[in-house]
A = this chain, B = another copy of it.
Amino acid sequence: MQLAARDDVSDYLIAPDPGAVRLTRAVEGVDHTGARAAISVVEERPLTIFLNGQEIVTAMTIGDYPEYLALGFLRNQGMLQDGEVVKGVDYDDDLDTVVVRTDGRTSYEEKLKKKTRTSGCAVGTVFGDMMEGLEEVRLPDLAVKTSDLYALAARINRTPSLYLEAGAIHGTVLCEGARPLVYMEDVGRHNAVDKIAGWMFSEGVSAEGKLLYTTGRLTSEMVIKTALMGIPALVSRSGFTAWGVEIARQVGLTLIGRMRGKRFVCLSGEDRLVRDADPEAVPEEDGKSRRKSAPG
């Protein structure tokens, strides 16, 4: 197995841009010895998403790819259906807003009002909505080769990222076979997934043949988002929640967690696994990647 050089990201369609000026800031403080130290910290900004005339949500985000974040959020909330015509996506970086304009008035608007009235808060609303869509999900076949999983984990952990630069950020990567295609990072792990969903919607990319790799925990919301995106496998360095596992089993999603070095555990959809790699031949992680566990 030939690994690409450490900072060769030429085969990514979108790779992290750890040098981007708007995403991190040097902040001065003092360290444990009392010495002044300038450390690089990630930005965190509000972004308010509108769908046509209606304000939908304010997300706390690192601030890159606001258009993808808005489209992906609306997709993953079921507010933007397949085949819906998006007339425009307007980002205003002074107001920190994105307005998504679609053809005509969408039915979600009545639904949103009703839900808001009955449950009083969008946190419950959003969750209720998302569970509803799950019954119709039919996830495609996929051969999840363990050789690909090991290659992806090694590659992603070594890819220059805001995480390696400044920490305190989540990463989610859309992958195909052994190739990471789109690597999004954000202070909120759901934002990173939503940005991938927005990219897929914008580019008309199908979920067929894809898997999602995330640094975050495999909670119910992560599993639901992945399933609604039609992606049949979700892989993480981190652990599981019981409800995340339960939902993955209900929808037939392959769920792999605690993937570090040669180790991983598959708690759902084991039938997609193709064990074509010898785990004993996989090197243990070095110190640098071992620290790359999920931020909180």
- Asked if A195 CB lies within 8 Å of chain B CBs, one says no
Partner of A119 from the list B44, B55, B244 (CB cut-off 8 Å) is: B55
Number of copies: 2
Closest to A23 in B: B242
Closest to A188 in B: B219
Tell me which residues across on chain B come within 8 A of A105, comparing CB atoms: none
- Complex CA gap A43/B218 in Å reads 12
- Complex CA gap A244/B239 in Å reads 26
Give A147-182 interface residues, CB cut-off 8 Å to B.
Answer: 166-168, 170
Tell me which residues across on chain B come within 8 A of A37, comparing CB atoms: 265
Given contacts A42-B242, A243-B44, contact A264 B31 (CB under 8 A): yes
Interface locus among A7-15, A203-211, A266-274: A266-274
Chain A residues touching B, majority SS: mixed
Shortest beta-carbon contacts, A-B, top 7: A294-B296, A216-B296, A168-B239, A58-B124, A121-B122, A167-B239, A29-B267
Other than A27-B267, A121-B125, give 9 A-B pairs with Cβ distance below 8 A.
Answer: A29-B266, A32-B265, A41-B245, A43-B243, A58-B123, A123-B123, A238-B296, A293-B296, A296-B296
Can you give 8 contacting A-B residue pairs, CB < 8 Å? A32-B262, A37-B265, A39-B265, A41-B240, A41-B245, A43-B242, A44-B219, A60-B220
